[in-house]
Amino acid sequence: MRKYKQVKEKKITYSLDEWKIIEERAASVMMKTGTYIKRISVDGQINFYGVGDITQVMNALRIIGGNINQIAKKANETHSVNANDVEKIQKEVDALSRALSRLAFTELSNAA
Protein backbone atom coordinates (compact mmCIF):
# COMPACT_ATOMS: atom_id res chain seq x y z
CA MET A 1 0.00 0.00 0.00
CA ARG A 2 1.32 3.40 -0.97
CA LYS A 3 1.67 6.11 1.66
CA TYR A 4 1.02 9.68 0.61
CA LYS A 5 2.78 12.67 2.01
CA GLN A 6 0.42 14.81 3.99
CA VAL A 7 0.48 18.44 2.88
CA LYS A 8 -1.44 21.61 3.57
CA GLU A 9 -2.09 24.12 0.82
CA LYS A 10 -2.88 27.75 1.54
CA LYS A 11 -3.85 30.46 -0.93
CA ILE A 12 -2.34 33.86 -0.15
CA THR A 13 -3.16 37.06 -1.96
CA TYR A 14 -0.57 39.81 -2.45
CA SER A 15 -0.91 43.27 -3.94
CA LEU A 16 1.16 43.93 -7.07
CA ASP A 17 3.59 46.06 -5.06
CA GLU A 18 4.01 43.33 -2.43
CA TRP A 19 4.54 40.70 -5.12
CA LYS A 20 7.19 42.85 -6.81
CA ILE A 21 9.06 43.13 -3.50
CA ILE A 22 8.85 39.35 -2.98
CA GLU A 23 10.13 38.72 -6.51
CA GLU A 24 13.05 41.11 -5.98
CA ARG A 25 13.98 39.53 -2.65
CA ALA A 26 13.74 36.02 -4.10
CA ALA A 27 15.91 37.03 -7.05
CA SER A 28 18.49 38.60 -4.74
CA VAL A 29 19.03 35.20 -3.08
CA MET A 30 18.66 33.29 -6.36
CA MET A 31 15.46 31.47 -5.42
CA LYS A 32 12.10 30.92 -7.04
CA THR A 33 9.39 33.03 -5.45
CA GLY A 34 7.46 30.00 -4.13
CA THR A 35 10.58 28.53 -2.57
CA TYR A 36 11.47 31.92 -1.08
CA ILE A 37 8.03 32.36 0.48
CA LYS A 38 8.07 28.83 1.94
CA ARG A 39 11.60 29.19 3.35
CA ILE A 40 11.03 32.64 4.87
CA SER A 41 7.73 31.60 6.44
CA VAL A 42 9.12 28.39 7.98
CA ASP A 43 12.69 29.39 8.84
CA GLY A 44 12.12 33.10 9.43
CA GLN A 45 15.33 34.07 7.65
CA ILE A 46 17.44 33.16 4.67
CA ASN A 47 21.22 33.31 4.79
CA PHE A 48 22.73 33.94 1.37
CA TYR A 49 26.43 34.10 0.71
CA GLY A 50 27.32 35.42 -2.70
CA VAL A 51 30.40 34.17 -4.52
CA GLY A 52 31.89 37.67 -4.49
CA ASP A 53 32.08 37.55 -0.71
CA ILE A 54 34.56 34.68 -0.66
CA THR A 55 36.92 35.80 -3.44
CA GLN A 56 39.58 37.04 -0.99
CA VAL A 57 39.43 33.80 0.99
CA MET A 58 39.73 31.62 -2.11
CA ASN A 59 42.69 33.63 -3.40
CA ALA A 60 44.44 33.37 -0.05
CA LEU A 61 43.85 29.61 0.04
CA ARG A 62 45.29 29.21 -3.48
CA ILE A 63 48.41 31.17 -2.57
CA ILE A 64 48.94 29.22 0.64
CA GLY A 65 48.34 25.92 -1.16
CA GLY A 66 50.89 26.81 -3.84
CA ASN A 67 53.48 27.81 -1.26
CA ILE A 68 52.94 24.67 0.80
CA ASN A 69 53.44 22.56 -2.34
CA GLN A 70 56.69 24.40 -3.16
CA ILE A 71 57.97 23.97 0.39
CA ALA A 72 57.01 20.28 0.44
CA LYS A 73 58.83 19.74 -2.86
CA LYS A 74 61.94 21.53 -1.56
CA ALA A 75 61.78 19.60 1.74
CA ASN A 76 61.60 16.31 -0.14
CA GLU A 77 64.58 17.27 -2.32
CA THR A 78 66.80 18.58 0.48
CA HIS A 79 65.36 16.56 3.39
CA SER A 80 65.05 19.76 5.46
CA VAL A 81 62.70 22.71 5.91
CA ASN A 82 63.85 26.32 5.92
CA ALA A 83 62.68 28.47 8.86
CA ASN A 84 61.95 31.33 6.44
CA ASP A 85 59.53 29.12 4.54
CA VAL A 86 57.67 28.27 7.74
CA GLU A 87 57.46 31.98 8.64
CA LYS A 88 56.13 32.75 5.16
CA ILE A 89 53.34 30.21 5.60
CA GLN A 90 52.54 31.60 9.04
CA LYS A 91 52.18 35.12 7.62
CA GLU A 92 49.87 33.87 4.88
CA VAL A 93 47.75 31.91 7.36
CA ASP A 94 47.47 35.08 9.47
CA ALA A 95 46.37 37.03 6.37
CA LEU A 96 43.76 34.36 5.65
CA SER A 97 42.51 34.55 9.23
CA ARG A 98 42.13 38.32 8.91
CA ALA A 99 40.22 37.91 5.63
CA LEU A 100 37.89 35.36 7.26
CA SER A 101 37.34 37.69 10.21
CA ARG A 102 36.45 40.57 7.88
CA LEU A 103 34.06 38.31 5.98
CA ALA A 104 32.39 37.12 9.19
CA PHE A 105 32.13 40.70 10.49
CA THR A 106 30.59 41.82 7.20
CA GLU A 107 28.03 39.00 7.29
CA LEU A 108 27.13 39.82 10.91
CA SER A 109 26.78 43.52 10.06
CA ASN A 110 24.54 42.74 7.09
CA ALA A 111 22.38 40.41 9.18
CA ALA A 112 21.73 43.09 11.82
In a domain, 4, yes or no: no
Same structural domain for residues 94 and 72? Answer: yes
97 and 57 within one domain? yes
User: Are 66 and 30 members of one domain?
Assistant: no
Residue 72 belongs to some domain of the structure:
yes
Helices first, then strands: H and E counts in the chain: 4, 0
For residue 74, tell me if it sits in a domain.
yes
More confident residue, 108 or 48: 48
Q: Which residue has the higher pLDDT, 96 or 30?
A: 30
**Given this model, what pLDDT does residue 20 score?**
96
Domain that holds residue 24: 13-48
Asked if 36 and 18 count as a contact pair (C-beta separation under 8 A), the reply is: no
Residue 108 has pLDDT above 70, yes or no: no
Q: Is residue 2 part of a domain?
A: no
Q: What pTM did the predictor assign?
A: 0.41
Instruction: Indicate if 65 and 101 belong to the same structural domain.
Output: yes
Total count of domains within the chain: 2
